[in-house]
Amino acid sequence: MPVHKRRDRWHYAFCIRGVRYRGKIPEARTKFQAEKAETQIRQDVYEGRFGKPTGDEDFIKFVREVYEPWAKESKRSFKSNDKYKLPIICASKCFKGKTFAQNNKRVRYLLDEEEPLLFALLTGPRTHLRDLVSVAIGTGMRRGDQFNLRWEKVDFQRNIIYVPNSKTGNDYYE
């Protein structure tokens, strides 16, 4: 039963690919409205939009209005655990007035002078990582994409690596 009524509120509960989704539907007054809202939530889960901020939302506002109530309700350790220092996060100058899009822009490249230093560390018990690091530097492939790589996806004649099902959801060639 995807929707059910508890006291005076409608709730949804369903599983997709082994992940459980449940919550309140406070705007629903009838079962039809609750089922319609549950269908939209399920569609958002399938499309990867569920629970993700759009990017133009204020980070501090999101923490106070969305994350903190959810954490209080969902996490048993919220009151007893020291890592939930939300007032400290909200008072931090680095997050004040920032949106998710502004907080999510970290691009890091390996500099030319850093490459020999990195390879100098890949000796002894880390020697087996040299080939992986070489491929990563040469192609820019993520670790997961390298681990999922299969021989039939590598074309040595044309110097092409086909990467299906990457983290971004797009197939690409290296």
The dihedral over CA atoms of 63, 66, 67, 68, expressed in degrees to the nearest 10, equals: 80
Q: Render pLDDT for 33-63 as a digit per residue (tens, 0 to 9).
A: 999 999 999 888 888 777 766 677 788 888 8
Task: Show me where the domains of the chain are located.
Answer: 3-47, 59-103, 114-173
Residues 6+ away with beta carbon under 8 Å from 128? none
Average pLDDT over residues 10-20: 87
Spatial separation of the C-alpha atoms in residues 93 and 67, rounded to whole Å: 19
Coil vs helix vs strand at 60: helix
The predicted pLDDT at position 1 comes to 62
* pLDDT tens-place string over residues 59-113: 888 888 888 888 777 777 766 665 666 677 777 777 788 877 777 556 677 888 9
pTM of the model: 0.40
Which residue, chain included where needed, has tokens 């809202």? Answer: 37
Taking 3-state DSSP, the helix, strand and coil percentages for the chain, each rounded to the nearest 5, stand at 45, 15, 40
